[in-house]
């Protein structure tokens, strides 16, 4: 599906330490070429730490169809393969900051269901961060 796809495990180690704080333990998300743990993602969402400088991929945003997306991979809980989610920089920052609007949340969760996944399996979308209708519960304030 355009905007969301599973990437069959590429033989790459999933336990690469965080590229910023070097913590290990879980398969962390990848943003561009960097492996980033949830704590460092939070720092990024707060606008702290080194900003991400990255080339955009020529895909279309899952939410708004704008071309030019952040290269982002996440490992769904209990899933085997990493998942690529194509989001433009604006929607990616909302995603990282846990402040997607309901419309965007619904598009993403519908696409996840299409792959047999649930938003609860995606760390940045799980139920502590959004209620079932997609209201943000713990948004990170905009920097």
What is the binding site for Zn ion (CB under 5 A)?
18, 20-21, 37, 40, 61, 63-64, 66, 88, 91
Q: How far apart are CA 114 and CA 126, in angstroms?
A: 17
Give min distance, CB of 87 to Zn ion, in A. Answer: 6
Q: Which is nearer to Zn ion, 18 or 140 (CB)?
A: 18
Residue ranges of alpha helices (H) inside the chain are 38-45, 89-96, 102-114
Residue (91 or 93) nearer to Zn ion, CB: 91
Least Cβ distance, residue 8 to Zn ion (angstroms) = 26
CB of 34 or CB of 121, closer to Zn ion: 34
Cβ atoms 98, 129 nearer than 8 A: yes
For the CA atoms of the chain, what is the radius of gyration? 14
As a whole number of angstroms, the distance between CA 103 and CA 15 comes to 33
User: What is the smallest separation between the CB atom of 105 and Zn ion, expressed in angstroms?
Assistant: 13
């Amino acid at each position: 599906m355009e905007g969301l796809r599973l990437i069959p495990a590429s033989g790459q180690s999933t336990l690469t330490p965080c590229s910023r704080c070097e913590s290990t333990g879980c398969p962390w998300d990848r943003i561009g070429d960097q492996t980033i743990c949830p704590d460092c993602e939070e720092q990024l969402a707060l606008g702290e730490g080194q900003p991400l400088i990255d080339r955009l991929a020529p895909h279309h945003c899952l939410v708004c169809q704008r071309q030019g997306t952040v290269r982002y991979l996440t490992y769904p809980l209990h899933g085997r393969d990493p998942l690529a989610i194509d989001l433009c920089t604006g929607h990616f920052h909302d995603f990282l900051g846990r402040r997607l609007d309901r419309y965007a949340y619904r598009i993403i969760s519908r696409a996840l269901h299409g792959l047999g996944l649930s938003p609860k399996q995606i760390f940045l979308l799980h139920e502590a961060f959004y209620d079932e209708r997609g209201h943000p519960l713990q948004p990170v304030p905009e920097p």
